[in-house]
Chains A and B, each alone.
Chain A
Amino acid sequence: GENVEQHPSTLSVQEGDSAVIKCTYSDSASNYFPWYKQELGKRPQLIIDIRSNVGEKKDQRIAVTLNKTAKHFSLHITETQPEDSAVYFCAASRSGNTPLVFGKGTRLSVIA
């Protein structure tokens, strides 16, 4: 089955700096790669996703890149703000009615 590795587990950045979180996956058939932000005790919130036919996607301060050959994808947050502080999860899945497999998460702290 799919295995998703996520690094780093914790990340502290100064406000205004960029943050990068990296994930690798094992199943070459996976073609959907979402990123979630989760506040304590709440459901994961989709912040951006990318599909395997695209190499990069950007939405304002957030971007995701995908390298299918190397089987890794990354989340980039620019101009970080204190409200970006949260736990971020990457995930991967195949198409169709298949479940997401999550990475272990990254706790991002943005220091004002």
Chain B
Amino acid sequence: GAVVSQHPSRVICKSGTSVKIECRSLDFQATTMFWYRQFPKQSLMLMATSNEGSKATYEQGVEKDKFLINHASLTLSTLTVTSAHPEDSSFYICSARDPRDLGNTIYFGEGSWLTVV
């Protein structure tokens, strides 16, 4: 299957700082990528849809100025958590569909654990 890679897998940052998470499609081009957040013992909640060459579409309740998404190429989307606070500590995971896969399968990155101290 297609491969989606995410980096870093774990990051610890201080309150008030920003942290960037990268999501790459390694063997296919992804015009769209999806970012999810998962708090402990909860489900994956869609944060935003990242669109190559245009603005991301954010879900209701997700602050676009706090969670900056950039999708500058067909293989890379980045999520930047700005002015991070402890409540932003969570598991962030990206996903994308391989356009060659007519089966509509979605591929996930490995996920990134963010801890804000």
Contact = CB atoms under 8 A, between A and B. Distances in A.
Nearest to B30: A97
A43 B104 contact: no
Interface in A87-112: 89, 93, 95, 97, 99-105
B87 to A, nearest CB: 19
Interface residues of A, number: 20
Interface stretch (B13-21, B63-71, B76-84, B105-113): B105-113
Interface in B28-55: 31-32, 34, 42-46, 49
A89 B41 CA distance: 12
Contacts of B44: 44, 89, 100, 102
Closest 4 CB pairs of A and B: A97-B32, A43-B108, A99-B34, A32-B104
Interface of B: 31-32, 34, 42-46, 49, 91, 93, 95, 97, 103-106, 108-111, 113
